Structure 1
């Protein structure tokens, strides 16, 4: 387990540097920005243009919690008159709080639905909620199986595992994909999110697109698979996988790494199985298309990609804000904070945290849109 994680962390670091070049980020590195001091953090803080003051409330995606922790700490070290409170309640809950006018912005791993956009017009006076892509990363399929440190699965097999059709680890379908592995007859314990989650939405979109014959459930934030065990938040899924031999679950890469979990390599139809790394996620995000209208920057990902090295179970987390009609008391702080997170320093800070930077072409559009929030 430790060997695979060491290799993956090395790939994450190298992948982040590769992504920097591929995504035209002009300054990248693997400095540790998690502390409240240090050269890189100090430099980033000194470049932040502070505006507004008071409390800035936001909630939503737990996938970006670790990113928000880094961003918040760096931002508040520069702008001590602003207190940022981000609650990782899950994408569904975050959107609902935003639509109820309780927060300045929401984090969501899925773009707003048409009915949510319509509802947002009640909160965004004279405007509407828009999607601002802010951070990307792979959804790692993590597992805990004693004696097995290298595992390959494909979309069809994953669909059947999470739909309780494949129930033991020595199933012929798994053996076929792993002919050299000593697979035990251990019962499979599949963990999914019990809360409404953009992570679930993206994972089930992948299963639906890549294995339509095997996955019958509708993609969505709410789990629709049969059987399995629910856990609250990505941290809950990761904890349960770590504690139970024979278990499998889907979490963001940072949660898999943080819990020292092995991750599945995907057989996508490319020459070689693809590992969940930031570099491989970046290759998938770079292939995404902007499909949002007007100021909305919602992206469409290609879950069926067979491009070499492209990891298809990738999510993009959006910050959702009003294009017009933002609350006056939080508008300037919101703009200042989101300009930092979408900027070079904000994206660089995540390079070694298990996240994939947003392509600079898209990030530049985000910063321009944030400038125009009113």
Structure 2
């Protein structure tokens, strides 16, 4: 559990205990709406929700689920971080109530058009994490990054990397590229960024999976890529900020559209969100956004829900949980290295949730 969140819970518990003691001698028998069951907006909900999908936002979703228990004690929410590809497939097969995805739904995902809605939740940076003894600061342009990940550049002292890092002593260490082995929205966004920012330099295309060179190494989920980088001198991989920090990885600053090298951060992510165009279905793309302080590999993430559940109680559960996530849950985001939605997009997401039918 995130330390900031834990500290907040401890303080909240102390405050509640103090209030309880203060009220012992009171003759005021009035109660707040919702009573002991928690917030009146959620206390009457009851049942179970089962979901799967993207590992990119998993730390955030798990924290929201834990907090949701405090206001909806009769609801059980389970989210299994299987990767975006598997999540979309399971959603299409009716095996889960909703799915997390960092990439948009395609015909090949088995999800029927007009049967689902996108609900944006948070955004976060995809780090370029590396393990290179003696080098604790590194900056990379999109063109150099593209050459590294398609293995055109094979050692860390390559001229292109040196050009991005004047004055830095780089070793002649072989580069080991780590990537996702499963269908992944993180892969989709990372490769979409390279396609947009590196242009014709990037040869591998984009998608939940791409044909990585045979010499590269695959890891399952963001945590699997993080472990390869952690354990291998010379390794480099793309990992969400939350998992990169949890694994104590070092990550590079990336050259943005304005020519500035920017390290991954919540502030840089928020700056990247400001210029993103929002489509009518609430999908949006903040990758390679303009702005001097924008982190260029800023990725969105979504929950996909059914337009109609054929079950009023199930629909109310989904709506209740997502309403909590988009309201109270947004306050948790920065503490777990995610950026909350801009206010205008949050309101549109809440309106999207209200479209869900029983």
Structure 1 residues 6-45: aligned runs within 5 Å: 32-34=4-6, 37-39=9-11
C-alpha displacement of 1:365: 1.1
Give the one of 160, 165, 171 matched to 1:184.
Answer: 171
What secondary structure, in the 3-state scheme, does the structure 2 residue paired with 1:106 have? strand
Find the aligned partners of 1:81 and 1:231 in 2 and give their Cα distance.
37
C-alpha displacement of 1:171: 0.5
Q: Is the 8 A contact 1:137 1:314 kept in 2?
A: yes
Give the one of 274, 277, 286 matched to 1:301.
Answer: 286
Distance 1:33 1:188, change over 3 A: same
Give the one of 119, 131, 136 matched to 2:111.
Answer: 119
Structure 1 counterpart of 2:212 = 225
Distance 1:73 1:231, change over 3 A: same
Find the aligned partners of 2:45 and 2:112 in 1 and give their Cα distance.
24
Give the one of 126, 145, 149 matched to 2:132.
Answer: 145
In the alignment, does 2:236 pair up with 1:252? no
Structure 1 counterpart of 2:29 = none
Q: Is the 8 A contact 1:291 1:300 kept in 2?
A: no
Find the aligned partners of 1:36 and 1:56 in 2 and give their Cα distance.
26
Gaps of 5+ in 1: 1-29, 122-126
Find the aligned partners of 1:265 and 1:167 in 2 and give their Cα distance.
20
C-alpha displacement of 1:34: 4.5
Find the aligned partners of 2:61 and 2:137 in 1 and give their Cα distance.
31
Find the aligned partners of 1:245 and 1:163 in 2 and give their Cα distance.
19
Distance 1:271 1:160, change over 3 A: closer
In the alignment, does 2:344 pair up with 1:372? no
Find the aligned partners of 1:191 and 1:257 in 2 and give their Cα distance.
17
Find the aligned partners of 2:102 and 2:96 in 1 and give their Cα distance.
17
Find the aligned partners of 1:368 and 1:236 in 2 and give their Cα distance.
36
C-alpha displacement of 1:47: 4.5
Question: Which whole-Å deviations, capped at 9, do the CAs of 1:231-279 have from their partners, x for residues lacking one?
Answer: 0000000111011111100010001111111111012253531110011
In the alignment, does 2:268 pair up with 1:277? no
C-alpha displacement of 1:56: 0.6
- Structure label with greater radius of gyration: 2
Q: Is the 8 A contact 1:95 1:106 kept in 2?
A: yes
What secondary structure, in the 3-state scheme, does the structure 1 residue paired with 2:90 have? helix
C-alpha displacement of 1:36: 9.1
In the alignment, does 2:157 pair up with 1:170? yes
Q: Is the 8 A contact 1:52 1:330 kept in 2?
A: no
Find the aligned partners of 1:115 and 1:235 in 2 and give their Cα distance.
26
Find the aligned partners of 1:327 and 1:312 in 2 and give their Cα distance.
42
Structure 1 counterpart of 2:180 = 193
What secondary structure, in the 3-state scheme, does the structure 2 residue paired with 1:190 have? strand
Q: Is the 8 A contact 1:58 1:87 kept in 2?
A: yes
Find the aligned partners of 1:252 and 1:216 in 2 and give their Cα distance.
23
Distance 1:254 1:302, change over 3 A: closer
Structure 2 counterpart of 1:334 = 318
In the alignment, does 2:90 pair up with 1:97? yes
In the alignment, does 2:51 pair up with 1:63? no
Per the normalisation by structure 2, the TM-score is 0.87
Gaps of 5+ in 2: 17-36
Q: Is the 8 A contact 1:108 1:320 kept in 2?
A: yes
Deviates more, 1:328-337 or 1:360-369: 328-337
Question: Which whole-Å deviations, capped at 9, do the CAs of 1:200-220 have from their partners, x for residues lacking one?
Answer: 000000000111221112210
Give the one of 281, 285, 303 matched to 1:319.
Answer: 303
Distance 1:221 1:284, change over 3 A: same
C-alpha displacement of 1:301: 2.7
Find the aligned partners of 1:115 and 1:94 in 2 and give their Cα distance.
13
Q: Is the 8 A contact 1:192 1:223 kept in 2?
A: no
Aligned length: 333
